[in-house]
Amino acid sequence: MAKGAATMPRVFLGVALAQLRSDAGISLEAAAKHVGKPRQRLMNLLEGRATFTAEELTTLAKYLGATGDRLSELESLGAEARKSPTGDPYTDLGPESWRRVAYLEAKAESIQAYENGVFPALVQSVGYAEALIRATEGVWQDELDDQVRAGRAAFRLKRQQLVFDSAEPKRISLFFTEDTFNAGVGSPQVMVEQCQYILDLVSAHENLDVRIIPTSTWDNPAQNGGFVLFGFGELLRPIGFMPVIYGPSTYMDSSEDTERMARAFARLGDLALSRDDSLKLVSTNRERFHK
């Protein structure tokens, strides 16, 4: 199949396969030879601009080490990728949708994220992430055993490592509201560790910009919920993401939608505290929780 449009399922599939190939240490040449395809055809697949038949995809995925649920996920994405693009927002109905967010984070050149009342995922400590998961158990999801809960929190840390340790540093701008400090999660100690975690991350990564929207701010255009805008340079057009606490996640890549998000982030940049003042507020709250 010729090189085509980069639809959301194709992007998800391509990034997932690229990560598998990287983890397995298999060269493009070896992978292409194994499935009997030209190297460029495989590159188009990994860039989200081509598809494989069901048989070809399964052969490739197994060669790269996919088994069990991961193999099923890739086969499901492959079926979606082979459908003709509609131009409508993409609703991710598959299991473990949080894994697909990580695929976009890994591929993006720039990430802008906003959260209201919760720290953005890319600066959540493991303890804070686990506490958030615990808070949803018995409400939005069934009770989890300690191993599953710890595994999900650890994956959050792996997402951060893939972003911050990227060979090409990404531009990362994260916004959250001041009332996040008052939305206690876990325990005061968890909040102390979370505040310190943000300070450590910002100190270690010059490309990370953390900005806080003060409680006293008037006319915040993003009062409710959160949203993320991924930029991919010349490779792909921007993709917007609307996370939800329960149910399917929605992705948008029409210019009309992503331009609205870009305008929202520009406004948030005007309303937020400076980087230095934001970090001072994080430090002040760390001391408050420590008492």
Q: What is the domain partition of the chain in residue ranges?
A: 8-85, 91-290
pLDDT (0 to 100) of residue 2: 42
Q: Are 35 and 42 in contact (CB under 8 A)?
A: yes
Task: Report residues of the chain scoring pLDDT below 50.
Answer: 1-2
pLDDT (0 to 100) of residue 4: 57
> 6-65, pLDDT tens digit by residue?
777 888 888 889 888 988 999 999 999 999 999 999 999 988 888 899 999 999 999 999
pLDDT (0 to 100) of residue 70: 86
What torsion, rounded to 10 degrees, do the Cα atoms 275, 278, 280, 286 define?
-130
pLDDT (0 to 100) of residue 1: 40
Q: Answer yes or no: CATH 3.30.870 is held by domain 91-290.
A: yes
Q: Say how far apart CA 18 and CA 164 lie, in whole Å.
A: 18
Give CATH for domain 8-85: 1.10.260.40
Q: Which two tokens stand for residue 127?
A: 């303890």
Q: Are 239 and 253 in contact (CB under 8 A)?
A: yes
3-class SS letters over the chain: CCCCCCCHHHHHHHHHHHHHHHHHCCCHHHHHHHHCCCHHHHHHHHCCCCCCCHHHHHHHHHHCCCCHHHHHHHHHHHHHHCCCCCCCCEEECCCCHHHHHHHHHHHCCEEEEEECCCCCHHHCCHHHHHHHHHHHECCCECCCCHHHHHHHHHHHHHHHHHHHCCCCCCEEEEEEEHHHHCCCCCCHHHHHHHHHHHHHHHHHCCCEEEEEECCCCCCCCCCCCCEEEEECCCCCCCEEEECCCCCCEEEECCHHHHHHHHHHHHHHHHHCCCHHHHHHHHHHHHHHHHC
pLDDT (0 to 100) of residue 107: 84
Q: Say how far apart CA 29 and CA 41 lie, in whole Å.
A: 11
pLDDT (0 to 100) of residue 5: 64
Q: Which two tokens stand for residue 287?
A: 């001391």
pLDDT (0 to 100) of residue 95: 61
